[in-house]
Amino acid sequence: MLIHLATDRHRRTYHNLMPARLSPSRHLQIGRSKAGLGLFARVPIKKGQFVLRYSGRKITTEVADRLDTRYLFEVNSRWTIDGSSRRNRARYINHSCRPNAEVYFVKHVIKIRAIKNIKPGDEITYTYHYGRDYFDSFIKELGCKCRACAKKRAELRKSRRRTRARHK
């Protein structure tokens, strides 16, 4: 079956449909997020649905240790996926402490699926289980940028302000 996407009206109708199988280039979009760039849904994604694969070269962890990139995904103590290619859309997924997706492995293939229903326009996030090095280099200084942590910090600031006000 051929689906034409020539007009906006068609496009809108099409985007309101949940595709049975997501195509990373058509159904997901790279965009601005709080933490720089992020990956966003263009279509509704159902809880449990496969979203995309974290793709890249499979290299030994020994080789990976010598690379200077933050887009390394360790499969096990022996193998790592080098996801630094821009074709790997999954590299744009940001960390969240309250994510809507999760990583799972099928043998040495890294896959990402939704753990909540995701609406068009929502940013796709999962919880990074980063090693200490990653945490020290990228997170420690600036703090976690995820929405849940930003909200927590804002509430903390507010309650601190309130405490100060009471002590005046």
What is the contact surface with Zn ion in residues (CB under 5 A)?
97, 144, 146, 149
Looking at the Cβ atoms of 44 and 99, the one nearer to Zn ion is: 99
What are 89's two structure tokens?
Answer: 């859309």
Looking at the Cβ atoms of 112 and 144, the one nearer to Zn ion is: 144
Looking at the Cβ atoms of 49 and 125, the one nearer to Zn ion is: 125
Rounded least distance, CB 97 to Zn ion, Å: 3
Q: If DSSP codes are grouped into helix, strand and coil, which group holds residue 165?
A: helix
Rounded least distance, CB 16 to Zn ion, Å: 31
Rounded least distance, CB 61 to Zn ion, Å: 26
Rounded least distance, CB 144 to Zn ion, Å: 3
- Provide the pairing of β-strand 50-54 with 109-114: antiparallel
Rounded least distance, CB 95 to Zn ion, Å: 7
Confirm if 100 and 122 have CB atoms less than 8 A apart.
yes
- Residue 74's contacts (CB-CB under 8 Å, 6 or more residues apart) are 61, 64, 80, 131
DSSP assignment, residue 11? Answer: H
Looking at the Cβ atoms of 14 and 138, the one nearer to Zn ion is: 138
For residues 153 and 79, what is the distance between their CA atoms, to the nearest angstrom? 37
141 phi and psi angles, rounded to 5 deg: -65, -45
Looking at the Cβ atoms of 22 and 146, the one nearer to Zn ion is: 146
Compute CA distances 38 → 78, 126, 157, 162, whole Å. 29, 12, 26, 34
